[in-house]
């Protein structure tokens, strides 16, 4: 299961050419809207968001941005020009978010496998110790 509390944020994300273009057009506000959307995508079970009026209104309320048209335009710009998001016409996702989720799931599975292996080794040692104790105990 993916970690629900954090996701990696590249320390040089602001230097990415797509982000530079986003900030050039929308300023720091665009950067903030983009990262809020990335956060939302991480939380969604499908890691997709419906590209609709409700999303725009929600972002407007959450981020205290009165200009809903700007948010809609920004999302469209991120999809069509910058390819920060991928759309099927109704919903959109992020390859970056999907890779984060894939990496987190892989890490969690590796951690689970290591825990299972460690538990198996511990159980086998305990079983061997018990067998040795039974062999060395005097008969009553």
Of residues 61, 60, 13, 52, the one with CA closest to residue 35: 13
Report the pLDDT averaged over residues 38-54.
Answer: 94
Q: What is the pLDDT of residue 129?
A: 77
* CATH code, 48: 1.10.10
Q: How far is CA 29 from the centre of its chain?
A: 22
In a domain, 2, yes or no: no
In a domain, 32, yes or no: yes
From residue 93, give the alpha-carbon distance in Å to each of 3, 99, 110, 124, 134: 18, 11, 26, 46, 60
Report the pLDDT averaged over residues 102-111.
Answer: 75
- Mean pLDDT lowest for which of 48-52, 82-86, 113-117? 113-117
Domain that holds residue 21: 13-136
Beta pairing partners, 49: 92
Domains in the chain: how many in total?
A: 1
Give me the percent of the chain exceeding a pLDDT of 70. Answer: 86
Whether 33 shows a pLDDT value over 90: the answer reads yes
- Mean pLDDT lowest for which of 26-35, 95-104, 127-136? 127-136
Of residues 19, 21, 16, the one with CA closest to residue 37: 19
């Amino acid at each position: 299961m993916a970690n629900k509390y954090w996701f990696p944020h590249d320390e040089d994300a602001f230097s990415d050419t797509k982000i530079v273009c986003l900030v050039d057009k929308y300023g720091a506000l665009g950067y903030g809207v983009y990262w809020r959307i990335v956060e939302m995508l991480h939380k969604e079970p499908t890691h997709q968001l419906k590209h609709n009026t409700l999303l725009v209104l929600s972002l407007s309320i959450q981020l205290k941005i009165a200009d809903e048209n700007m948010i809609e335009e920004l999302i469209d710009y991120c999809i069509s020009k910058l390819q920060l998001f991928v759309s099927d016409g109704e919903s959109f996702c992020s390859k970056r978010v999907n890779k984060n989720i894939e990496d987190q799931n892989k890490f969690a599975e590796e951690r689970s496998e290591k825990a299972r292996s460690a538990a198996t080794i511990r159980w086998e040692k305990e079983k061997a110790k018990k067998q040795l104790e039974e062999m060395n105990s005097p008969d009553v």
